[in-house]
A and B are shown apart, each in its own frame.
Chain A
Amino acid sequence: MEYNITPSYNEEENVWFVTLVGEFDIFNAAELKAKLNDLVAEKQINLVLECSNLVFIDSTVLGNLVAVLKNVKAYDGKISLKNLRPNVSKIFKITNLNKIFVIDGEGEANE
């Protein structure tokens, strides 16, 4: 299963920009969580996940993203997901997590 997590710091917007490529499931969910948590520990800024080549996620990944979001919210930050594919977007919708993550600029986390 090929996958890639590529972080970069966007100085202009002062955000972590993370490109996710491939499939993420129970196998690599912990790795993704650890890398995202490392980023927010280094700089307490917003996270932007670029998902145009993210082809699959499961509930384990979702749960881990929620855990990272908890850390991000501790400093009033946000996690945005950009360019979700329809099948991935569907997963966020059926779990109602589209209401707590900022997805493609639409919707805001419920306070």
Chain B
Amino acid sequence: MNEFETTEELTAIELSLPANAAYVSAVRQTASSIASRLNFDVDELEDVRSLVSEVCGLLIKKSGGHGGFLIKFDPSDGKKIKISFTLSHAEKVDIEKDDMGLAMIQALADKFDIVPAKNGNLLLSIEKVHKELLL
């Protein structure tokens, strides 16, 4: 083990993001940085970047550019990254099934859930599993 490695478990990272398209690239960079710690290869990292970008884009469009959302990156499993997005005041948000972004998310994610929460929030979560584990 070299001086940069640690035996500490990776802990979750949270971002609070305004619903502003200008910040989506920052989310991609963060996601890529975290996923690279899980030794994802180049293809998997690009999938993670696309996934977070698509979900952010979806939420920004649905929010009309108002408010913001919380993003939680959870690599604590060590073998997959789970990313959840919470959009508040989302009572009237409806995600069309034929949305191209939604289709991309479903194609790239190993797991994808949309959960309307009881308190008016909308929760989207995606998972990307290290492909060695899928073989």
Contact = CB atoms under 8 A, between A and B. Distances in A.
Interface stretch (B2-10, B46-54, B83-91, B114-122): B46-54
Interface stretch (B73-81, B98-106, B125-133): B98-106
Interface residues of A, number: 17
A23 B57 contact: no
B61 interface: yes
Nearest to B61: A26
Given A25-B53, A58-B57, A94-B108, A1 B25 contact: yes
B21 interface: yes
Contacts of A23: 25, 28
- The interface residues of chain B, by DSSP majority, are classed as helix
Contacts of A60: 57, 101
Interface of B: 21-22, 24-25, 28, 42-43, 46, 49-50, 53-54, 56-57, 60-61, 99-101, 103-104, 107-108
Given A26-B61, A59-B100, A91-B50, 14 more contacts: A23-B25, A25-B21, A25-B53, A26-B21, A56-B53, A58-B54, A58-B57, A58-B101, A59-B101, A59-B104, A60-B57, A62-B100, A95-B100, A95-B104
